[in-house]
Amino acid sequence: MLENNSTITKIGRGFFYFSVFFIIYFLENLTMTDNKDSETTTDSEFAKKAAAYIEPILKHLDTEDVIVEKDKITELFVTLWEYEGGEKLDAATQRLTILALFMYTAHNVLEDYNIRIDRARQYITHALQEWLKPEMEKAIADEKASTNPFKAFVDSNQSNFDDTFRWEHFMP
């Protein structure tokens, strides 16, 4: 049996420490990749096009007295948009993906600023309401101008409902 202070034991411990150091160093280098060539850098055309989807909603995001860097929301949105393959989706799925990613990214970034979930949800809901306000006002004006507002509502929204909630989303 070898003693704890023998040369072989010291070499064995040294090799163990060296291998642990090497593994940690190697893993850190793998995670610290340079994003200069990535498509998701904020300068790329892809990033600008993806950010254009969220900017109209983001301009309505008001967090009252907390100053939030909206660029962080945009950067996270662009990364997730690329991951989801947003450009390849059909129009209805793309719209739902934009809304879902906006809500997700806004919640995550607002949480970084210590804004509680209920307050964040109020800010996000308000931004979405303000973004949809022109569409809603136009639809309401058309319904009021109609002789039968209920029929006008059903006729104008049935196609929206069918486009948004297709059976492919409910069937396995």
Nearest to 114 by CA among 63, 77, 71: 63
Give 169's pLDDT tier (boundaries 50, 70, 90). low
Nearest to 50 by CA among 78, 85, 91: 78
Nearest to 53 by CA among 11, 8, 89, 13: 89
Contact predicate 73/105, CB 8 Å: yes
Residue boundaries of the structural domains of the chain: 45-169
Task: Give the tens place of pLDDT for each residue, 44-74.
Answer: 899 999 999 999 999 999 998 889 999 999 9
Report d(CA 56, CA 93) in Å as an integer.
18
Please say if the pLDDT value at position 16 is more than 80: no
Give the DSSP letter of residue 171: -
Contact predicate 61/119, CB 8 Å: no
